[in-house]
Chains A and B, each alone.
Chain A
């Protein structure tokens, strides 16, 4: 069974640009969550999608957005990039999401975004 796939693995962008990251969950999983990991703040929750609907959102500015497609694949978009957006962005896949028991989360390898 294939794991969670994130593309691309590495990105270098300039301040002010926008970027789109992609996540393909494990087959049969309907919940996709996104996290930002930085040395200073650790892992912080961005948002969660379930059956194409955003169910939960973390405390990030509106420049961070996402969507989920009918095949459960998800994309995350960051507009007007800032230096502080440099981070490892991780996607997690689970069958039902955190509101149902026995929902183990599986993570992808992440996308390393560097903003210069």
Chain B
């Protein structure tokens, strides 16, 4: 059974810092991995999608990597801003569904 873990559960950093969020999964047989952002009480916003055959994807200040053999993905946020404060969720694409981690709640202090 696929399990997805995100560490740390919460993170507080000063504005401008570069940071890394971690996601690990137990079964390497995944279709893809997707990173989402969730603001309080809102839905999920897709940030990056990495196909199982890819190693990384970039969008603006965000870079996500995928290492299937070790069951790990990282989301790198460069030059963090207060507007980046949110909960970040990773999800692995399994047969017909996404399996989510519990998320990392990020606070970026001005």
Please list the residues of chain A having a beta carbon within 8 angstroms of any beta carbon in chain B. 4, 6, 33, 35, 42-43, 45, 48, 55-56, 58, 88, 90, 92, 97-110, 112
A83 and B32 alpha carbons, distance in the complex (Å)? 35
Q: Which of B49, B95, B97 contacts A104 (CB 8 A)?
A: B49
Additional A-B contacts beyond A42-B101, A98-B97 (16; CB < 8 A):
A6-B43, A35-B98, A45-B97, A48-B97, A88-B41, A90-B43, A90-B44, A98-B94, A98-B98, A99-B96, A101-B31, A103-B31, A104-B49, A105-B34, A105-B98, A108-B43
Say whether A42 contacts B100, CB under 8 Å. Answer: yes
The residue in A43, A101, A108 that gathers the most chain B C-beta atoms within 10 A of its C-beta is A43
Q: How far is the CA of A35 from the CA of B44 in the complex (A)?
A: 11
- Count how many pairs of residues, one from A and one from B, have CB atoms less than 8 Å apart in the complex: 72
CB atoms of A33 and B98 under 8 A apart:
yes
Closest to A92 in B: B98
Asked if B52 and A99 make an inter-chain contact with CB atoms under 8 angstroms apart, the answer reads no
- Which residue of chain A lies nearest to B52 when distances are taken between CB atoms in the complex? A101
- Residues of B close to A45: CB separation below 8 A: 97-99
B53 to chain A, nearest CB (A): 8
Question: Measured between alpha carbons, how far is A35 from B53 in the docked complex, in Å?
Answer: 26
How far, in Å, is A35 (CB) from chain B's closest CB?
A: 8
Which partner residue on chain B sits nearest A4 by CB separation? B43
Instruction: Assess the B46–A107 pair: CB atoms within 8 A.
Output: yes
B42 interfacial by beta-carbon distance below 8 Å: yes
Q: Using A45-B98, A48-B97, A90-B44 as known contacts, say yes or no to A99 and B103 having CB atoms under 8 A apart.
A: no
How many angstroms from the CA of A4 to the CA of B102 in the assembled complex? 23
Of all chain A residues, which has the CB nearest B45?
A: A107
State the CA gap A27–B4 with chains docked (Å): 31
The answer to whether B31 touches A98, judged by C-beta atoms less than 8 angstroms apart, is yes
* B100 nearest CB neighbor, chain A only: A43
Per the bound structure, the CA–CA distance linking A45 and B44 in Å amounts to: 14
| Closest residue on chain B to residue A110 by CB atoms | B43
Q: Which one of A56, A98, A100 has the highest number of Cβ atoms from chain B below 10 Å of its Cβ? A: A98
A105 to B51, CA, bound (A): 13
